[in-house]
Structure 1
Amino acid sequence: MEHISQYPPRQPEQAAAGATGPLVIVTTLFFMWGLLTALNDVLIPHLKALYALSYSQAMLVQFCFFGAYFLVSLPAGMLIRKIGYQYGAVTGLAVAAAGCALFYPAATGGYGLFLFGFFVLAAGITILQVAANPYVAALGAPKTASSRLTLTQAFNSLGTTIAPALGGILILSGTLAGDAAGQAASVQLPYLVLATALLLLACLFAVARLPIIEHADDAALPRHGARSLLAHRNLVLGVLGIFLYVGAEVSIGSFLINFLEMPAIAALNPADAAHYVSYYWGGAMVGRFIGFAVMRSVSPGKALAFTAASAIALVLAAVFGHGRAAMWAILAVGLCNSIMFPTIFSMALHRVGTLTGQASGILCMAIVGGALVPFAQGVLADAVGLQHSFLVPAACYAFILFFGLKFSGLYHKDEVGPHIN
């Protein structure tokens, strides 16, 4: 795995001055994988109706997609260590393009081939994630790493905001009265276009002039790395925090269209409901731009605890409410999600030192929560109903509230980001 402990260079103010261009280029990756990930929220109800799936069967989409993070993160780290961040990004884009291309034969090959396409697509995105998150942390001063990650995550949220509305127009709106073959084929053209765009981005990254970031030598690492990692309680609990946060965020997004279709909530058709899903992801985008500024002066732990408590209140309002009030409550959870990932990520890495690269890889593996938590909610939805199944993400936010409060004093008063030297 990459080791961020030697980043940025010895003169961080100089590195920060020259980091704007590379940061802009890398931010396009965050936008693209946000777009691809949020399109799952459109495809899940689409495939559920097409193949007459239960909620738990439909959640196999997220199980395969986010399961790739768990299986591919460590191999991706070894690959990036060998070929570098830039060509790691090129490889990730090419693999993701292959995953999108698989959706064309999946239209006639059945649900199993769709699931395989999701896995390949996510494998490419995983490579991008493993490369881009620590790369952004390296492009500037350590004390502003949390703020910088929050900014790039805002553009990730721009992609997730656009995706549901775009998917509703291109995939759902034309299939309401179509036959089964036509509904399956509706995904072919959009994903071929995405495959082409990913290949063009791969070519762009192959020729772009990006700074080369060197790795720490293996000899500099502690001999008992795993034991040393466990000594950092903020890291151990941060891994669980990432697992539960990603699980909660993905789970809510996955069930939103079906939730908004319920007569007791909004009685929307799938295409119209997809547009409202954009409000959920758009809230995260707006909150991340706000968080980019606020997190420079407010304690990350306190900000995290506040947003988690707000998310719990909103989810409970959706579970026990009805009508438009319940609809807007669950959509507003997106605003609360805004700062959670970059804040938990940077707090978990606080003072991990030479183990930062290994810790970053483990945190990326924890994104597998996006595979398991939605599946758990799907099982509960089949058993007790969809509305009450949202108690699963509420429980996830309860742990994040605990994590934020426990480590609210993690940084010294003159720090606002992770110390990773």
Structure 2
Amino acid sequence: MSGRTEGPSASFITHGYRWGFALIASLFFLWAIANNFNDILIRHFQKALGLDRMQAGFIQFVFYIGYFVVALPAGLVMRRFGYKAAIITGLCFYAGGALLFLPASYIQTYSLFLTALFVIAAGAAFLETAANPYITAFGDPSRAPQRLNLAQSFNGFGAFIAPIIGGVLIFSGIEHSPEALAAMSPADLDAYRAMEASTVRLPYALLAAVAGFIALAVIFTTLPKGDFEQGSDETFGSQVRRLLSHRTLVMAVIAQFFYVAAQVGIWSYFVDFVKDAMPEVPEKQAAFMLSASLILFMVGRFVGTALMARIAPARLLGIYAVINALLCGVAAFAPGQVAVGALMLTSFFMSVMFPTIFALGIDKLGSLVPLGSSFIIMAIIGGAICPPLMGMVAVVTGTMQLAFLLPLVCFAFVALYALPKRS
């Protein structure tokens, strides 16, 4: 790469690529918004479409199936055409899926909403597969972990602000009891649900506009090339065989599956959990409590980065996983405010998990990083499995609390992955 300047800041982001770095970092914010809007939609579609909790859980199932299906094609596009092409493709999918929310809100068909979410997820899969490893190309490779943590902080910011935006723009604040809904005439019920469905139009139209703007900016911005973009004669099949022989990558994929399952499950049903544990709390306030929990997630990224100067990343990951398993146990069995407080704290200890598992997984992969990144992003399918299972447990038991034993099991698997790693 050319254009490097002298001085301590030059090696962090190469001179001439700072605007490009800002654009790529904004992608971390963008996919966090889409991911965390789903937590609002799970509650919202129960009202707007008359779904039960298990049915609403399929929002996350379809979304994360999209990640699983598209992550490998995203890696292949990136391998063939480069990071920039993969990112532009992802932004086009993202904007297209967001725009599909407009006709879906008029038709009020759950399957069309799910289709829109799948297309958004396809875009997010392209963005995550490309952006995480691409950060290494913007400066001195030895400072790549710092750049990734900086970019991931934008993800944390998006995660905490999404429930606020969703709570304000998507939740109407009108809550009817099951008895009140049963007493409505068919015409009144249809009008109520049509009004609720209409509230998704503005936020998703804004998401489409932002994605389109960033895509245009990426097209006209000079961006660096990654090392693998210089050309390689190795076949796809050969790279896959080499990756499958990397035990560190395979174990990281498994750990990431369980981590994402726990994270998505907890955040998806947070609002429902609060409504069960503290029925007097309005849904808008419950959404703001989720946002407060996600502030802890963002703060935890900075705290975790500082702690890693003294504690090996794998050890810190294991300690945090054990703490979260205990907190999920408290959430499952404690009453009221204690249970909600424990669940809120889990976000702080989840903060370092995704980037740490990702970094451990791609360590020393060299030219295999793009495809290895695809494999780890495919593990995000864990987010498709846990919410429907949690919804089923809630329907069968009649309470949301016991469903949080499933994230407890997931964190136990993450701890088993991390704690044997002593360095």
Measured after TM superposition, the shift of residue 67 of structure 1 is 0.7
The CA distance in 2 between the partners of 1:245 and 1:361, in whole Å, is 17
Segment drifting more, 265-274 vs 54-63 = 265-274
**Aligned residues of 1:69 and 1:365 also touching (Cα < 8 A):** yes
| Aligned residue number for residue 75 of structure 1 | 73
Query: In the alignment, is the contact (CA less than 8 A) between 1:252 and 1:393 conserved in 2?
Result: yes
How much does 1:313 deviate?
1.4
Match of 1:373 among 386, 390, 405: 386
Is the contact between residue 319 and residue 419 of structure 2 (CA under 8 Å) also seen in structure 1? no
CA distance in 2, matches of 1:97, 1:174: 28
Write the deviation string for residues 232-286 of structure 1: whole angstroms up to 9, x where unpaired: 2221111011111111101100001111111x43532211111111022211111
Correspondence 1:218-229 to 2 at 5 A: 218-220=232-234, 224-229=238-243
Whole-angstrom CA distance in 1 between matches of 2:236 and 2:221: 35
The Cα of 1:175 is off from its aligned counterpart by 4.5
Partner of 1:416: none
Measure, in 2, the Cα distance between the counterparts of 1:301 and 1:255. Answer: 28
Per-residue deviation at 1:374?
1.6
The farther-off stretch of 206-215 and 320-329 is 206-215
User: Whole-Å Cα distance in 1 between the matches of residues 75 and 170 of structure 2?
Assistant: 35
Please, which of 288, 291, 305 is the counterpart of residue 275 of structure 1? 288
CA shift for structure 1 position 227: 4.1
For 2:158, the equivalent position in structure 1 comes to 159
Can you list the C-alpha shifts for 1:115-138, whole angstroms capped at 9, x where unaligned? 011001111111111110110133
Matched AA of 2:253: V
2:47–2:193 Cα contact (<8 Å) kept: no
Q: Which amino acid aligns with 2:388?
A: F
- Cα distance in 2 for partners of 1:246, 1:216 equals 33
Shift of 1:53: 1.8
> Could you tell me which of 393, 412, 415 is aligned with 2:407?
393
Counterpart Cα distance in 2 of 1:130 and 1:42 = 25
Distance 1:191 1:171, change over 3 A: same
What amino acid maps onto 2:390 in structure 1? Q
TM-superposed CA distance for 1:143, in Å, is 4.5
Matching residue within 330, 338, 351 for 1:325: 338
Cα deviation for residue 148 of structure 1 reads: 3.1
Aligned with residue 243 of structure 1, among 250, 257, 260: 257
Task: Give, as a single letter, the amino acid of the residue that structure 1 aligns with 2:243.
Answer: L
Q: What TM-score do the two structures reach when normalised by structure 1?
A: 0.88
Distance in 2, Cα, partners of 1:281 & 1:216: 39
Taking the aligned partners of 1:279 and 1:154, their CA distance within structure 2 comes to 16
In the alignment, which residue of structure 2 is the partner of 1:98? 96
Aligned residues: 399
Gaps of 5+ in 1: 1-5, 410-421
Given the superposition, is the C-alpha separation of residues 390 and 190 from structure 1 closer, same or farther in structure 2, using an over 3 Å criterion?
same
Match of 1:403 in 2: 417
Q: What code does the residue aligned with 1:190 have?
A: P
State the partner residue of 1:119.
Answer: 118
Mapped pair 1:59 → 2:57? yes
Shift of 1:355: 2.8
Alpha-carbon distance in 2 for matches of 1:102, 1:343: 34
Query: 1:119-172: per-residue Cα shift (whole Å, max 9, x none)?
Result: 011111111111101101333444544443232212101001001011111111
Q: Does the CA-based 8 Å contact 2:75-2:373 persist in structure 1?
A: no
Structure 2 residue runs of 5 or longer lacking an equivalent are 177-190
TM-score, normalised by the number of residues in structure 2: 0.88
The SS at the match of 2:170 is: helix
Q: Distance in 2 between matches of 1:40 and 1:222?
A: 34
Shift, 1:15, TM fit: 5.4
Corresponding position: 1:197 with 2:210: yes
Instruction: Specify the alignment match of 2:185 in structure 1.
Output: none
1:285 matches 2:298: yes
State percent identity of aligned pairs: 36
Q: Is the 1:69–1:123 Cα contact (8 Å) retained in structure 2?
A: yes
Distance 2:237 2:31 in 1: 35
Q: CA offsets per residue over residues 322-342 of structure 1, 9 Å max, x none?
A: 111111110110000100000
Task: Please say if 1:188 is aligned against 2:201.
Answer: yes
Structure 2 CA distance for partners of 1:56 and 1:131, relative to 1, 3 Å: same
Q: Alignment partner for residue 43 of structure 1, among 41, 44, 49?
A: 41
Other structure's SS at 1:271 match: helix
Residue in structure 1 matched with residue 375 of structure 2 by the alignment: 362
Match for residue 351 of structure 1 among 348, 361, 364: 364
Counterpart in the other structure of 1:209: 222
Counterpart-to-counterpart distance in 2, 1:98 and 1:202: 12
Which residue is 1:130 aligned to? 129
Tell me how far apart the structure 1 counterparts of residues 357 and 145 of structure 2 sit (CA, whole Å). 9
Does 1:336 pair with 2:335? no
